[in-house]
Amino acid sequence: MRIATWNVNSITARLPRLLAWLESSGTDVVCLQELKCSAEAFPAEQLRELGYEAVVNASGRWNGVAVLSRVGLADPVVGLPGGPPFDGGQEARAAAATCGGVRVWSVYVPNGREVGHPHFAYKLEWLAALRKAAEPDAAGELPFAVLGDFNVAPTDDDVWDISRFDGATHVTDAERAALAALRDAGLADVMPRPLKYDHPFTYWDYRELGFPKNRGMRIDLVCGNAPFQSAVQDAYVDREERKGKGASDHAPVVVDLEP
């Protein structure tokens, strides 16, 4: 089974590339983030024509996540159970389903904006709620993973130049501790394994030739429980999909599981 996560940065803008990638990549389950569309505008019919069912959490211009599957889609959950509100409401940042015997969550962790901002405190609260919601599945026998844009670089090596991030979000001790709490709950990052690139970044800013200069960050993660980890055969960042006109600023992260 091939599972991927991809922040598409607007499914409307990226739809031709998404459809082409689904056809060429052989991916069975895809967790999408930053849909930037309403539920009504989600392209369910075009995806269904390729054989994909979807569980969607979308509310309009910002945020939005989905799980696409061509191997079945059961027990869907829309929203993060126990998730904190922001500006008086729940944001569209989480969705889950069981696909082909694997339980997955697609998450779009709050950015945090800047240290000290209310959105930064919200980010930490959201990650704490994610840990609590994930704990039962993390401890279960079914392969389970949380996939998505975590907006946290796990280590200094996961950014192109740590000196450029002094005092910024994504690399603070508080954010990394909140991410590490997921590991304490039984979820481990699948990417620390031999890879084609020394620094397998997943995001590059559109500005200042971020991608050509490989000035990136690894913030799109796949965190799996022990049964999921034991089934992993390969994991990689599909850098090719970040190239060319009309690309998202994120690349897909792909994980192959044994049958």
pTM score, whole prediction: 0.96
Per-residue pLDDT of the chain (259 residues; tens, 9 = 90+): 999 999 999 999 999 999 999 999 999 999 999 999 999 999 999 999 999 999 999 998 889 999 999 999 999 999 999 999 998 899 999 999 999 999 999 999 999 999 999 999 999 999 999 999 999 999 999 999 999 999 999 999 999 999 999 899 999 999 999 999 999 999 999 986 555 556 689 999 999 899 999 999 999 999 999 999 999 999 999 999 999 999 999 999 999 999 7
CA distance 71 to 96: 14
Domain annotation for the chain: domains and CATH numbers = 2-257 (3.60.10.10)
Residue 249 labelled as part of a binding site? yes
Q: Which burial class, exposed, middle or buried, applies to 237 when counting CB atoms under 10 A from its CB (0-12, 13-18, 19+)? A: buried
Residues 6+ apart with CB under 8 A from 173: none
Can you tell me whether residue 100 is helix, strand or coil?
A: coil
| CA–CA distance, 183 with 147 (Å, rounded to integer) | 13
Element (H, E) at 32: strand 29-33
Query: Hey, what are 146's tokens?
Result: 């949380």
119 assigned ligand-binding residue = no
The single residue of 52, 108, 122, 203 carrying the catalytic annotation is: 108
149 has catalytic annotation: yes
250: annotated binding-site residue? Answer: yes
Does 170 participate in catalysis according to the annotation? no
pLDDT of the residue at 62: 87
Residue 203 known to be catalytic:
no
Decide if 115 contacts 108 (C-beta within 8 A).
no
Contact between residue 244 and residue 89 where contact means Cβ atoms under 8 Å apart: no
Summarised one tens digit per residue, pLDDT across range 173-205 is 999 999 999 999 999 999 865 555 566 899 999
Contact 165, 159 (CB under 8 A): yes
Residue 239 · residue 214 · CB < 8 Å: no
What is the reported pLDDT for 198?
62
Could you say which of 149, 158, 189, 220 is catalytic? 149
Query: Which tokens in the block code for residue 11?
Result: 């499914």
* Three-state DSSP class for residue 49: helix
Identify the pLDDT of residue 194: 53
